[in-house]
Structure 1
Amino acid sequence: MERLDHFMARAIAAYYARPASPFGRAGDFTTAPEISQAFGEVLGGWAAVTWEMMGRPDPVLLVEVGPGRGTLMADALRAVSEVAAPFRAALRLHLVETSPTLRDQQRRMLGDAVAAWHDDLSTLPAGPMLLIGNEFLDALPIRQFIRREGAWRERFLAEGRFVEQPAEMTLPTEAPEGAVQEVGEAAQAVAAQLARRLATQGGAALFLDYGPAESGFGESLQAVRGQATGLDPLAEPGSADLTAHVDFAALARTARAAGAAALGPLPQGLFLQRLGLMTRAAMLARSRPRLAGEILSGAERLVAAEGMGRLFKALALCDPRLPTLPGFDPA
């Protein structure tokens, strides 16, 4: 018998170790950097402005967790090279990536721009840091609990199906029969680790991912393969990407308890519009008239409520001494 989060960790590691790339139209899913280059460009601008707020430390770590093929960071570096040369000179790029296959793709995309790769956050050098994580938290393992006859039971796996055992974790006492509570211990550990570092060494972390703004009951575990959802997440471990909604409220609470400030979550559409994504997309469209429709429709997909603009959220964790970060100030 295996706990769900242990099963997920094993299945996700096997999935991302495969030689085939999961990204893009030919892969299993498409992420924001693959939809619009303006996404990475405005996040590069966000990092540059935040660096200014930090007092322009030199050097400063620019870190991406779960960097995929390196598309987001390639766009971000190109943008800051053009408009924020001092930031580009000061930054040292570090990527947190466990997959050898994806590391090879990132090496081809980014080349000598990468100072080092890391298996986890613990080996990053000390010092001020700016961290970006796009669709990183949703791929971290979760535990699931279900309410049965006035008590919580935890879901384990045995022979490819769920089995339930009495829960040892303290959970809300008021819950309807059959309610499912998901707990992302791995994501909360990341939030706590980052918060402690940011509060003492300075900097900020920006996460964009999908999930509700407030904690609540509900089952969100899903498998994605070939652009299709609705698959059995327990079948054929390693053949599909396993994800779950991010509990942003829990992460914000965890970060604040560890000494950092937490901003958001905000709907991704609102956040990206405040950063000027649609303005940048319009500029790209004017410079490439043959691709204008594709460029504008891609950007609209990222900000529209019926696209990714509402379900996806932006959450920032930062040194509490910093002013309100770009995109989180309504003014």
Structure 2
Amino acid sequence: MAETLKDRLVREIVLTGPMTVADYVTRCLHDPKGGYYATRPALGEGGDFITAPLISQMFGELIGLWAIETWSRLGAPERVRLVEVGPGDGTLMSDVLRAARLVPGFLQAVDLILIEPSAPLRAEQARRLADADVHPRWLSALHQVETDAPVILIANEVLDCLPARQFIKTEGGWAERRIGVTDNNDLTFGLTAIADGFEAPGFDVEPGQVIEISEQQAAFGRDLATMIRAASGAALLIDYGRSKPEAGDTLQALRRHQKVDPLSTPGEADLTQWADFPLVLEAAVRGGADVTGCIAQGAFLKALGIEARAQRLMQGRPEAAPIIQRQLDRLTAPDQMGELFKAAAIFSPRSLALPGF
């Protein structure tokens, strides 16, 4: 029987000691031989999870109009880099480019860049965008984006893939939650004493509560700020997560739209943790960029005109009106994606007023 990712993780932990939650999630998602995104990403109704662009074309169309208006407010430069981080199966960018046909000058100015480390997803993006008005080029990392032209960047459900370490307040002080190995060679959670250098959070935490600190999300915020400050432009972040600092264990694994044990089958389910918008935006400010507030996705999409867009679609396809209404509700209703999902932006120069915020 072929060696699994779990077999390799167990051997590594036995040899080197318990693994941080952040390192474990990174391996489960991106291990070249067994990581979820490296080998078996499954999006959509028939896969493991679904994202907003797959729920309705309205989402991507409005993001496309947001990008066009941002370009206009930048002075409609002759060249602009349209960047998507984590483009999934390419549906969002396909919808963005279709909406952009309304403004041919924007499409003529666009240098389209997709940042995607997953080979299977790159192949799917290439298939979906084969007949697009603008042909993309692929990069593997944010720092590879050139900064000699303004940048308009979209990152939908990217932060939740950048994992966090977990710390627990105990009666005796703080400890880190790590993954170890049982006598039966199964993976298990445990606590490890914290060495010097841990900075307790600036909010109240009760004993037994978990806090999450994502060095990767903070680094992403800093890197975005560095790029946007050098190039000018804006980065739009949409994700599910927290808008204020707070405790909470948000680690989850999804397989066929059902929550499963994140330790049971490493690499075979999608693992996520909440976006920490306060952390990301603070890192961006420290990196020299300006930021918007963090607002609910429902409010953001309504400010961009999703209700009017839904009404036009219903008028054009009366037989599909109930479906379109359900899609609208799923994207904007407080008890669905409307409140849990948030939107925020990082931008430069300071005078740039972004649509929707």
**TM-score normalized by the length of structure 2:** 0.88
- For residue 44 of structure 2, what is the aligned residue in structure 1? 24
Structure 1 stretches of 5 or more lacking a match? none
Decide which of 294, 306, 311 is 2:335's aligned counterpart: 306
Find the residue that maps to 1:114 and give its secondary structure. Answer: coil
Partner of 2:22: 5
Q: What is the Cα deviation at residue 150 of structure 1?
A: 4.0
* Alpha-carbon distance, 1:284 to partner: 1.6
Shift of 1:114: 3.4
1:307 partner SS: coil
Residue equivalent to 2:356: 327
Is residue 64 from structure 1 mapped to residue 84 from structure 2 by the alignment? Answer: yes
Per-residue deviation, residues 127-164 of structure 1 (Å, max 9, x unmatched):
31000011111011110001112421112211211122
Question: Does 2:140 correspond to 1:119?
Answer: yes
Partners of 1:69 and 1:120 lie apart in 2 by 18
Pairwise mapping of residues 234-253 of structure 1 onto structure 2 (< 5 A)? 234-253=263-282
Matched residue type, 1:18: T
**1:93 to 2:112 alignment:** yes
Q: Who is 1:131 aligned against?
A: 153
Residues in 1 aligned to 2:86 and 2:311: alpha-carbon distance in whole angstroms: 28
- Residue 134 of structure 1 contacts residue 209 of structure 1 at CA under 8 Å; is this kept in 2? yes
Given candidates 163, 167, 189, the residue that maps to 2:190 is 163
User: Match of 1:194?
Assistant: 224
Q: Distance in 1 between matches of 2:262 and 2:349?
A: 39
What TM-score comes out, normalization by structure 1 length? 0.95
Residue pair 1:35, 1:299 contacting (<8 A) in 2 also: no
Distance in 2 separating the partners of 1:175 and 1:42: 39
C-alpha offsets along residues 92-144 of structure 1, whole Å, 9 cap, x if unaligned? 11001111111010000112633311111011122310000111110111100
Question: Whole-Å Cα distance in 2 between the matches of residues 186 and 22 of structure 1?
Answer: 24
Is 1:76 equivalent to 2:96 in the alignment?
A: yes
| Letter in structure 1 aligned against 2:351 | L
Shift of 1:271: 0.3
Higher alpha-carbon Rg = 2
Q: Secondary structure at the match of 2:294?
A: strand
State the alpha-carbon separation in 2 of the partners of residues 233 and 287 from structure 1: 44
Shift of 1:194: 0.7
Within a 5 Å distance, the mapping from 1:202-281 to structure 2 comes to 202-229=232-259, 231-281=260-310
One-letter amino acid of the structure 1 residue matched with residue 37 of structure 2? Y
Which residue number in structure 2 is paired with residue 179 of structure 1? 209
Distance 2:353 2:74 in 1: 11
Of the structure 1 ranges 113-122 and 182-191, higher mean CA displacement relative to structure 2 is found in 113-122
**Structure 2 Cα separation of the partners of residues 105 and 170 of structure 1:** 42
CA distance in 1, matches of 2:281, 2:329: 28
Amino acid at match of 2:347: C
- Give 1:309 deviation, angstroms: 0.3
Asked whether the 8 Å contact 1:140–1:186 carries over to 2, the reply is: yes
Could you tell me how far apart the structure 2 residues matched to 1:41 and 1:322 are?
26
Q: Distance in 2 between matches of 1:252 and 1:179?
A: 24
Q: Deviations over 1:236-261 (max 9, x none)?
A: 11111101111111111111111111
SS at match of 1:89: helix
Q: In 1, are the aligned partners of 2:74 and 2:352 still within 8 Å (CA)?
A: no
Structure 1 CA distance for aligned equivalents of residues 201 and 329 of structure 2 = 39
| 1:290 aligns with one of 287, 306, 319 | 319
CA RMSD, Structure 1 to Structure 2 (Å)? 1.4
Equivalent residue in structure 2 for 1:110, among 125, 129, 134: 129
Structure 1 Cα separation of the partners of residues 300 and 201 of structure 2: 32
Report if the CA contact (8 A) 1:64-1:131 is conserved. Answer: yes
Which structure 2 residue ranges, 5 or more long, are not aligned? 1-17, 182-186
Identity %: 42
Q: Which of 152, 165, 169 is the matching residue for 2:174?
A: 152
